[in-house]
Amino acid sequence: MLKDSPQRYGSVTRALHWLIALLVIAQLTSVFSSFLWEHNVYSQLILPWHTTIGVSVLVVMALRTLWALSQLQQRPVHEGTLQRLAVWGHVLMYALLILMPLSGALMTWGSGYGIHVFGNAWFEGADAPWAAGFGKFHGTFAWLLSFMIMGHIVMAMYHHFGRRDDTLRRMLGRETPD
């Protein structure tokens, strides 16, 4: 099923979730591992694509937000205080997943560098100190997002192996008993 239902996430939501997860984990691990081991092969392979992957995250996140809003009434139900906290956690992750590439793009553009996506110049660089100033936040957003993702994965594992409920299964697309 393409659309979400109260029992499970549909294929569009799942595809968007796992695509963004893959791209964002590649971004974060390629940068952070280069801090630990400069010039490692993995980072050298991925870092030249940092802008292209980041801008793709921004575009896909815009579509994902519209899609999530269109599915709000029919998504798996989150009842109780802890579950509602989880929903706010997801909202915060959406915000960071947009602010992260947006701050990177503004910093790059405002510092006079063009924004090249898949080898095409999408924007020429400009001298805009207000935009360059967003660079101050790019690293902070990255750390915040990394902590949220780690907590998120721990909670997904806790649901699956600790509480043995269907939280992970409904994001993996496995059939769950109604």
Q: Which residue of 4, 43, 101, 132 would you call a contact of ligand HEM, by CB under 6 A?
A: 101
Token reading at 28: 């974060």
Does 95 interact with ligand HEM (rule: CB under 6 A)? no
Chain position carrying tokens 């239902």: 5
Q: Which residue of 10, 104, 110, 132 would you call a contact of ligand HEM, by CB under 6 A?
A: 104
Q: Which residue of 29, 49, 60, 94 would you call a contact of ligand HEM, by CB under 6 A?
A: 94
Q: Which residue of 17, 40, 66, 151 would you call a contact of ligand HEM, by CB under 6 A?
A: 17
Chain position carrying tokens 């496995």: 174
Is residue 98 a contact partner of residue 61, using CB atoms and an 8 Å limit? Answer: yes
Show the binding pattern over residues 119-158: x = contacts ligand HEM (CB under 6 A), - = does not.
----------------x--xx--x------x--xx--x--
Token reading at 60: 């896909």
DSSP code at position 118: T
Distance CA 18, CA 22 (A): 6
Contact residues for 79 (Cβ-Cβ < 8 A; gap 6+): none
Q: Which residue of 105, 110, 132, 134 would you call a contact of ligand HEM, by CB under 6 A?
A: 105
Does 15 interact with ligand HEM (rule: CB under 6 A)? no
b/e per residue 69-87 (b: at least 16 CB within 10 A): eebeeebbeeeeeeeeebe
Distance CA 40, CA 54 (A): 20
- The closest of 102, 98, 82 to 155, measured between CA atoms, is 82
Q: Which residue of 115, 132, 134, 166 would you call a contact of ligand HEM, by CB under 6 A?
A: 115
Does 31 interact with ligand HEM (rule: CB under 6 A)? yes
Q: How far is CA 97 from the centre of its chain?
A: 4
- Interacting residues with ligand HEM (CB under 6 A): 13, 17, 20-21, 24-25, 27-28, 31, 50-51, 54-55, 57, 68, 76, 86, 90, 93-94, 97, 100-101, 104-105, 108, 115, 135, 138-139, 142, 149, 152-153, 156, 167-168, 171
